[in-house]
Amino acid sequence: MQLYPAIDLRAGRVVRLSQGEADRETSYHHDPVAQAEAFADAGAAWIHVVDLDRAFGSGDNQGAVAAIARAMEGRVRVQMGGGLRTLGAVEAVLSLGVERGVLGTAAITDPDLVARAVTRVGSERLAVGLDTKGGLVAIRGWVETAPVTAVEVASRVLGDGARTIIYTDVARDGMLTGPDVTGATALAALGAEVIASGGVATLEDLRAARRAGLAGAIVGRALYEAKFTLRDALHAVA
């Protein structure tokens, strides 16, 4: 199982939101490259980066993403999502040195996009982010929901050639209440490599995800608030 320490970017700063709400922000670091370096020094193999400004349609953090990718080249692989809603956007971030781009809203609103993206960049360089809110898939920076479930969308995108799904229960994100392992396992049962995101609070949360056979887990707030160290987290999922 792989661990993905998270760097959420807003106006060039490292922040975390509670339940994805833009007005519930906590700022943790003004230098995202320094944060990435700290994760690399602690032994991370991957870093998960989210461009919140792009997700909310209020700009982008492309310069910071590029700087992180340059600093991590040859050391740590970077996975990046947030507002990637076209094939061109995915290709652009991959050209910066990002290893894997994450499609979110567009995987729901543009049903043909996943198949085209898999054909163009390959399934190993693409993930689909499925975020749920009240049982339905959340889109457009989590401010709207689509009338479909995560299982329905996962079945379709797997049929289109996608392999990796990042699953988030929005209600748990940034709340330290534990990830939705049950929901993630339901997607894994379809044949997906599922990365659980949102709510990780303890090392036992990570062990539960590992026991469930999930491919990975994303950890943010628990690391920033020193609930445990990254080294201990990496040991828990090994």
| Structure token pair of residue 33 | 């490259």
Angle between helices 113-121 and 87-95 (to 10 degrees): 30
Catalytic site residue 112?
Answer: no
Among 18, 7, 12, which Cα is nearest to 44's? 7
Angle between helices 181-188 and 150-159 (to 10 degrees): 30
| Exposed e or buried b per residue across 112-148, where buried means at least 16 C-beta atoms within 10 angstroms of its C-beta | ebbeebbeebebebbbbbbbbbeebbbbbbbeebbee
The catalytically annotated residue of 131, 169, 180, 205 is 131
Cβ atoms of 224 and 28 closer than 8 Å:
yes
CB 88: neighbour CB atoms within 10 A?
9
The catalytically annotated residue of 8, 169, 173, 180 is 8
Catalytic site residue 23?
Answer: no
Alpha helix positions (H), the chain:
32-41, 52-56, 62-72, 87-95, 105-109, 113-121, 150-159, 181-188, 203-211, 221-224, 230-237
What amino acid positions are annotated as catalytic residues?
A: 8, 131
